[in-house]
C-alpha cells in the first residue's frame, strides 16, 4: 500500500451552514464510494474554503459519516487569489491504497468542475 491524495471540490450557492454541509457531504460521499475508501485507510483530510464561506466548518460534514470519528480533519482558508473561483470548498483526502495514481477518481461538483477539467469524469449528467 502507498499513500495517495484524492481531490474533491464543490461550490455553494449560499453561505449557510446547511448548504456548506450539504455540498461538502455530497462530494465526500462520492470520493469515498468512487475510491472504495474505508475510514481506517485515511491518514488525514484537509478541507479549505474561500473567504466568502464562513457560516460553518465544512469538516462537520465528514463527522456525519459512520466510522469517521477518529479520522483527523482540518479546515483552513484557501489562498485568496484575484479572479479565482468564489464560494469554493476544496478537499484533499490522503489514503493508503493499492491503486496507482491513474486509478484514483477525483471528484468535482458544481462550478468546481472548472478547477481541473481534465480530471472530471464524463458521467452523462
- What confidence tens digit (pLDDT) does each residue in 2-52 have? 999 999 999 999 999 999 999 999 999 999 999 999 999 999 999 999 999
Q: In CATH, what number is assigned to the domain containing residue 86?
A: 3.30.1330.40
Q: Is 117 or 5 the better-scoring residue by pLDDT?
A: 5
7 is in an annotated binding site: yes
The answer, yes or no, to whether residue 108 has pLDDT greater than 70, is yes
Q: Identify the domain containing residue 81 by its residue range.
A: 2-119
Instruction: Report the distance separating Cα 12 and Cα 20, nearest Å.
Output: 6
The answer, yes or no, to whether residue 122 has pLDDT greater than 70, is no
90 is in an annotated binding site: yes
Determine, yes or no, domain membership for 124. Answer: no
Determine, yes or no, domain membership for 125. Answer: no
Please report which helix (H) or strand (E) contains residue 24, including its range: helix 17-34
How many domains does the structure of the chain reveal? 1
Amino acid at each position: 500500500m502507498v499513500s495517495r491524495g484524492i481531490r474533491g471540490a464543490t461550490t455553494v450557492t449560499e453561505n449557510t451552514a446547511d448548504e456548506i454541509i450539504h455540498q461538502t457531504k455530497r462530494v465526500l460521499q462520492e470520493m469515498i464510494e468512487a475510491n472504495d475508501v474505508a475510514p481506517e485507510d485515511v491518514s488525514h483530510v484537509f478541507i479549505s474554503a474561500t473567504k466568502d464561506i464562513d457560516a460553518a466548518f465544512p469538516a462537520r460534514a465528514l463527522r456525519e459519516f459512520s466510522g469517521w470519528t477518529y479520522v483527523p480533519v482540518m479546515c483552513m482558508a484557501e489562498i485568496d487569489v484575484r479572479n479565482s473561483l468564489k464560494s469554493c470548498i476544496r478537499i484533499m483526502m490522503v489514503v493508503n491504497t493499492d491503486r496507482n495514481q491513474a486509478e484514483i477518481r477525483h471528484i468535482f461538483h458544481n462550478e468546481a468542475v472548472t478547477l481541473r477539467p481534465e480530471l472530471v469524469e464524463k458521467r452523462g449528467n
